[in-house]
Structure 1
Amino acid sequence: MLFACAVPTLRIEQPSDDASLEQWRHVHNTIIPTDPLSLDEVRERVRRNRLAVAYAGDELVGCSTVRPPNDETTAATVIVRILPAHRRQGLGEQFYEHELAEARKLDADGIETIILASNTDGLRFAESHGFVEFERYVLPGDTIPFITLRLT
């Protein structure tokens, strides 16, 4: 006999105050410990990009960034981060689909994502959704590269 587990529906919100920006920052800094951000840096990012936080019920499960095309790239960038305790439950899939729809509203010639090389779950997810690596870079003073992937 097979039993289907229902995937909780995510509540996705754009951070609107310091408390929700701090939640976004917490997820980012947990997933990207090599490049932690201050609250002031997150405040600056929310002016340039679409940031979102995701909850299953009242529990924080992830954050995202959707960057519009800019002087460096004509692609939109979609980055979805799910806290390790909430992975492999279908939450990343819901969040990714939502944020991908947001990115597709932008005037972009493609979709990219950026993942820290040590985040093997994130890389596996991106590759299973059609993303292909096309660039690696290391921030000054770091040893773990970021991988830029493009949706094919």
Structure 2
Amino acid sequence: MTDLRIEQVDGDAALLDWQFVHNAIIPTAPLSFAEVGERARRNRLCVAYRDDVLVGCSTVRPPTADASVATVIARVLPAHRGLGFGGELYTHGLTLARGLGAGVIETCVLESNPEGLRFALSRGFVETERYVLPGDTVPFIDLRLA
């Protein structure tokens, strides 16, 4: 176990930290501060710190009323990868999703993030779809936990 501290986003500083990690890892689809605030109202957003250093963030999209599918996304800044932080963020998100009633877990990885794809595949996810958002050139890869 590492000395990672995972906190639910609460307040502007945490929203800015979440936005920073998201935009660093998903540069093809950067989010404005307003868009991050809107996501925080729909989803469970967390930020992760080692001591006081920002290392990553996570998103849990709760299951909808008509389906038991939740999305769990863990993101770790490149300088902090390979230290177990992704596993901790993913486990935290998975526990949260299951607590919200998820029976099926999905995730999403940008194709230009091979470390993220390897991480998801190593945890039992299988690819279900690749798609390019309008105006983008790099595909997103949707995966489902087998």
What corresponds to 1:83 in structure 2?
77
Q: For residue 101 of structure 1, what is the aligned residue in structure 2?
A: 95
Rate the CA distance shift 1:72–1:113 in 2: closer, same or farther, 3 A: farther
Most deviating of 104-113 and 52-61: 104-113
How far apart are residue 71 of structure 1 and its match? 7.2
The aligned counterpart of 1:38 is 32
The unaligned stretches of length 5 or more in structure 1 are 1-6
The answer to whether the aligner puts 1:55 opposite 2:52 as a matched pair is no
Higher radius of gyration, 1 or 2:
1
Amino acid at match of 2:43: N
What residue is the counterpart of 1:144 in the other structure? 138
Matched, 1:24 2:37: no
Q: Aligned pair in 2 of structure 1 residues 33, 94: CA closer, same or farther (>3 Å)?
A: same
1:64 aligns with 2:74: no
TM-score (norm. length: structure 1): 0.92
Task: Give the residue type in structure 2 aligned to 1:137.
Answer: Y
Q: Report the CA distance between 1:72 and its aligned residue.
A: 8.7
Question: How many angstroms apart in 1 are the aligned matches of 2:36 and 2:137?
Answer: 23
For residues 31-75 of structure 1, the C-alpha deviation after alignment (integer angstroms, 9 at most, x for no partner) is 000000000000000000000000011100000100012379641
Give RMSD over aligned pairs. 1.4
Runs of 4+ in 1 over 6 A off after TM superposition: none
User: Residue 126 of structure 2: SS of its match in structure 1?
Assistant: strand
The aligned amino acid for 2:136 is D
Query: Which amino acid in the other structure matches residue 52 of structure 1?
Result: C
**When the two structures are aligned, how many residues end up with a matched partner?**
146
TM-score (norm 2): 0.95
* C-alpha deviation, 1:17, in angstroms: 0.9
* Residue identity (%): 63
In structure 2, the residue matched to 1:3 is none
Q: Which amino acid aligns with 1:65?
A: T
